[in-house]
Chains A and B, each alone.
Chain A
Amino acid sequence: MMNISRRNLIKTGAVGVLAAGVSPMLSATSVFAQGETVAVGSLHDLTGGTDVYGVPSHACMKMAIAEINAAGGLLGKQIELKTYDGQSDIKKFPQYAQQAALQDKVVMLQGAITGASREATRPVLRRYKVPFVYGTIYEGGLCETNAISVNTGSDQQAIPLLDWSFKNLGKKVFYIGADYNAPRNIGIWTNHLANQNGGTVVGEEYYPLDVTDFSTAIAKIQAAKPDYVHSCLVGGPHMAFYRQWAAAGMLKKIPIVSVVFGGGNEHMVLTPEETDGIIVAYNYFEEIDTPANRDFLARADKTMGASRPYINGIAIGGYTGPMIWAEAVKRAGSFDYAALMDALKTDIEWAGPSGKMVLEAKTRSTIQDMHIMQVENRKWKLLETQSQVRPFDFGGACDLLANPRNTEILVPKV
């Protein structure tokens, strides 16, 4: 037990103040491309409401940086990971992004998982010309030269998942989502794909993030009699829906598909009798049975320890992000911003634990395999793999080679 006396506290406090005072000077001497190291930033929610996404993503990012350093670094330099805790507080994101860019001189920043935090971070990094690697699944349609999306947009998840569902489960879907931008956007996708597949959306409901009583939702769904439910409920309070749905005996009657279920490890928190049979689509899950993935998991066990979090389709972006960025830096031959942006004008290919990934020059989004899978006793069972699913290009609307100044998020037309 540490002995905390008032004197000690004052001493450590004073040291802290001193350290804070000199740190700008320290970082001034380590301007990138001159010292032995370059800095890369991780800006994830490590505490607060959305830490369930941030903590595993950050752990994967740390692992990627450690592997790059162990293999001799990048362009002969060791990478120093600067960690910023977004604290599940939107205000912190632009502040830390600015600190990372101006004070810590990072050559890349990854994180800002929730849509709101991404939108708060993106313009800051654009202004200071710091490449923004976006590692999470998201609603899709991000189309900006400075934003490198290494995970999937909901189009890459929803198109395979809903095509499969309209074919195998039935034509009538009930959409239920959390009430903020990403689930609303996925609602648009659901309508779009229903039209494409000759299906109908028999109900569409959005719930504020703190709702915990879903009895009216369940009654509405039962009244609408869909063939399946598409759920985009997000976060801890919304887990209550799956509990109450199963408690009402509905899990066995109407199947649920989702592009977000499992991202917060819902299938671990909830019991098998509440989740068995739920169908999702992700680019990665630990149960992928390939030598590359088994090797990746063995390394993860070693670096993160036995109590490491489950690496799901969101967390994997923490690992693939720095790796794909490193490929691009090697191609550029420099950490220089303009050189990197030039290098990204051709496709960048990299093979990781989830197979081949191609960062597309036109969309700065990533082509990758998508897996449709089902919960079975807290594990994922593969139903179908669709190989090399392209990011949706919105009828050519997202073409960063032709139109490099676009920063808008694109949505499909219903």
Chain B
Amino acid sequence: MDQVLVTAIAIATGIATLVLISLGLAVIFGMMRIINFAHGEFIMLGAYATVLSTNAGMNLWIAMLVIAPAFVALVGLGCERLLIRRYYGNLTTTMLLTWGLSLFLVGSVTALFGNTTRGIAAPLGSVTFGNYSVSVYQLFLIAFAALLVLGAALFLTRTRFGLIARGTMQNPAMASTLGIDPGRVYAATFAVGAGLSGLAGGLLAPVSGVLPNMGASYVAKAFVTVIAGGSSVLVGTTGAAFMFGPIEAIVSLISTPVIGQASLLAAAILLLRLMPMGLSAGFRRST
């Protein structure tokens, strides 16, 4: 019984991690079609913002949930205004641009803080189920990821900004004839995407090694999840996370972690072969 529960928690953690690290990219790549190779570095910046402000005496929860997303949203806004906006619609150029941005951010953080930064521990302690004990913070991450998806869905479908953003992404020309400035919507959407990545970084800071190059371990998985998710940002990404998270966790548990990772990639390839437009193309109504 306890083993089933712990396995379920491990699977849920896998899904929650994928959702957290992919959501920001889903907005920037899924909605705006910008291949953001600096996505991992946005996560890293969020983690650094959390660690540094906590070390400076800030409350961990404020650092994680407010400072990290706000700071990275600002960085994102700066990048969009200074660099990205000049190259909308040009996939290859934005790809090179964000790749350069990624190298620049890793280099800058290394130069500023060195490659060893004192981290912070996970709060909330642990809870015991029979023979197993599980981190409470891990349970918090699962709950938070669920809330975040729900919140993002409500934001995109029920708020005016959500409507405008979706409209602008679908047809910028039409949006501008309705008196909306697509440039501002793009900037704000990019900032929101960056802020979500920063939030992921903040939330993962207490359970990961916060180092300048940490982004590299998230970026590939985030892209796999978002691409497999397809055009519908939220439903697709969450759906893909629900598919890949359990596959990886269960295969890792019954065989080895290497095969677990390979099976995730195999599942992604199979999925894209069967549904080239992504998982959400199979859903009728999309968000």
Contacts and interface: CB of A to CB of B under 8 A. Distances in A.
Interface residues of B, number: 52
B46 to A, nearest CB: 14
A51 to B, nearest CB: 6
B261 A208 contact: yes
Interface in B230-271: 249, 252-253, 256-258, 260-261
B125 interface: yes
Given A216-B253, A253-B133, A237 B118 contact: no
Contacts of A371: none
B216 A273 contact: no
B45 interface: no
B50 interface: no
A205 interface: yes
Interface in B197-212: 204, 206-211
Given A243-B122, A248-B135, A216 B209 contact: no
B133 A269 contact: no
Given A213-B14, A216-B249, A237 B122 contact: no
B214 to A, nearest CB: 6
Interface in B108-145: 110, 114-122, 124-126, 128, 131-138
Nearest to A310: B116
A268 B126 contact: no
A48 B210 contact: no
Interface stretch (B4-12, B81-89, B175-183): B4-12
Given A179-B258, A248-B138, A210 B133 contact: no
A268 B209 CA distance: 11
B102 interface: no
A240 B208 contact: yes
B17 A213 contact: yes
A223 B249 contact: no
A217 interface: yes
Contacts of B207: 240, 243-244, 247
A385 to B, nearest CB: 27
Contacts of A222: 6, 131-133
A250 B133 contact: yes
Nearest to A220: B253
A220 B126 CA distance: 17
Interface centre among A49, A215, A225, A243 (most CB of B within 10 A): A215
A390 interface: no
Nearest to B213: A49
A314 B13 CA distance: 35
Contacts of A237: 208-209, 214, 217
A249 B10 contact: no
Contacts of B125: 249
A239 B7 contact: no
A105 interface: no
A88 to B, nearest CB: 9
A250 B135 CA distance: 9
Contact of B118 (A206, A210, A236, A268): A268
A220 B253 CA distance: 7
A95 interface: no
B128 A249 contact: yes
B218 interface: yes
B110 to A, nearest CB: 7
Contacts of B136: 247
Contact of A238 (B121, B209, B252): B209
A90 B162 CA distance: 46
B135 A249 contact: yes
B3 interface: yes
A310 B116 CA distance: 10
A303 interface: no
A355 to B, nearest CB: 27
Contact of B218 (A212, A215, A266, A269): A212
A116 to B, nearest CB: 17
Interface in A206-260: 206-208, 210-213, 215-217, 219-220, 222-223, 225, 235-240, 243-244, 246-250, 253
Contacts of A243: 119, 121-122, 206-209
Interface centre among A225, A240, A265 (most CB of B within 10 A): A240
B275 to A, nearest CB: 26
B217 A205 contact: no
Nearest to A217: B257
B184 to A, nearest CB: 33
A215 B138 contact: yes
Given A48-B213, A243-B206, A247-B138, A269 B116 contact: yes
B156 to A, nearest CB: 27
Contacts of B3: 219, 223
A47 interface: yes
A250 B132 CA distance: 9
29 contacts: A47-B110, A49-B213, A49-B216, A55-B115, A206-B256, A206-B258, A207-B258, A208-B257, A212-B208, A212-B217, A213-B14, A215-B13, A219-B132, A219-B253, A222-B132, A239-B119, A239-B211, A240-B207, A240-B209, A244-B135, A246-B121, A247-B138, A247-B207, A248-B133, A253-B133, A265-B116, A269-B118, A269-B210, A310-B116
Listed from nearest, the 5 A-B pairs whose CB atoms lie closest are A239-B209, A249-B126, A247-B135, A247-B122, A210-B217
Given A236-B214, A244-B122, 18 more contacts: A49-B213, A49-B216, A205-B257, A206-B258, A207-B258, A211-B217, A211-B261, A215-B10, A219-B253, A235-B209, A240-B209, A243-B209, A247-B121, A247-B135, A268-B116, A271-B119, A273-B121, A274-B121
